[in-house]
Amino acid sequence: MKVITTIQELQKELASYYVANQTIGLVPTMGYLHEGHQTLAKAAVAENDVVVMSDFVNPTQFGPNEDYEAYPRDLERDARIADEVGVAILFAPSVEEMYPHQGGVTFEAGPASKILCGASRPGHFNGVLQIVTKLFQIVRPTNAYFGQKDAQQLALIEMLVRDYNMPITIRPIAIVREEDGLAKSSRNVFLSETERQLAPNLYKTLQVLQRNIASFNQKKAIEQIEAATKGRVDYIELLSYPDLQPVTSEDTQVILAAALYYENVRLIDNIIFKVGE
């Protein structure tokens, strides 16, 4: 596996694949890889001639009081893990390489970016769409892999590709969990020991809520999650998926999505399911 840090070198490396019309899989990540990322990469390796994984903590998707500086980073470890699952190129650019110009064109995502995580992270999804668009332009992948863990992000990227006619297939990958049900996340390292023990109750409560979805009540759901996790709920919402609208009798697929604050970390989780299942 090659670790590449410049756009020029990356494109030189990919040139023969473009010419031969071969398939390129892209797995965008912020690094500090875990089994969730590996699952995305394995799917990409199975479905493409070559796989590029990006490893870049994107500053434009972090708010001023968020954890950009503290976000865990370990490129050497990431390179080992990516290599193990068959990634051919790990693209790990610097911030200067990705953003050499200031004050140019940025993205303004629509209403679906202002709810759920977007409500407490203003501008976050504009930054996500900016970096994803740049990566799509730089790599020109055939297929790009995203986790359902970040279901709102996935929905917005599907909208981006649709609205801007990008010739890329988005491949969604199911949430990978720890044995006790906690969704794997690079940020789980910020959980205290007690929080780590209680955190799986977020998913357990979502499962209980799913089983009783006909009587879903937001206020009660907040109380249930907070009692079970001892965290503070940022949101718990039941919406249609992937359009993220209030559920109507027409909708068949819905998302039950939640975010929870602990002392040094904010966790997200969700269940996407068909109504009546």
**Residues of the binding site for (R)-pantoate:** 61, 153
Dihedral sign from CA coordinates of 208, 210, 214, 218: positive
Cα–Cα dist 24/17, whole Å: 8
Question: Which residue matches tokens 């023969």?
Answer: 16
Does residue 185 belong to the site contacting ligand AMP (CB under 6 A)? yes
What the block records as the tokens of 237 is 């919402």
Q: Which of 17, 107, 136, 146 binds ligand AMP (CB under 6 A)?
A: 146
Nearest CA-CA partner of 203 in 250, 245, 149, 158? 149
40 near ligand AMP, judged by CB under 6 A: yes
CA distance 257 to 272: 8
Burial call 92-118: b when 16+ CB within 10 Å, e when fewer: bbeeeebbeeeeeeebebeebbeebbb
Q: Does 256 bind ligand AMP (CB under 6 A)?
A: no
Please report whether residue 30 would count as binding ligand AMP according to CB under 6 A: yes
82 contributes a contact to ligand AMP by CB under 6 A: no
Q: What is the largest CA-CA distance in the chain?
A: 57
Which residue of 4, 10, 14, 37 would you call a contact of ligand AMP, by CB under 6 A?
37
Q: Residue 184 or residue 247: which is nearer to ligand AMP going by CB?
A: 184
Is 186 a binding residue for ligand AMP by CB under 6 A? The answer is yes
Q: Does 175 bind ligand AMP (CB under 6 A)?
A: yes
Single residue of 184, 196, 204, 230 touching ligand AMP by CB under 6 A: 184
Of the candidate residues 36, 93, 127, 242, the single one contacting ligand AMP (CB under 6 A):
36
- For 246, counting Cβ atoms within 10 Å of its Cβ (0-12 exposed, 13-18 middle, 19+ buried), the class is exposed
Q: What is the DSSP letter of 120?
A: H
Q: SS3 of 103, please?
A: coil
Is the CB of 34 or the CB of 230 nearer to ligand AMP?
34
Question: Token pair of 22, please?
Answer: 């071969």
**With binding defined as CB under 6 A, does residue 147 bind ligand AMP?**
yes
Q: Does 201 bind ligand AMP (CB under 6 A)?
A: no
124 is a catalytic site residue: no
Active-site entry in 29, 37, 135, 199: 37
Residues ≥6 apart with Cβ < 8 Å to 74: 31, 32
Residue 118 binds to ligand AMP (criterion: CB under 6 A) = no
Q: Which residues bind ligand AMP (CB under 6 A)?
A: 29-30, 36-37, 39-40, 146-147, 149-150, 173, 175-176, 183-186
Q: Which residues are catalytic?
A: 37
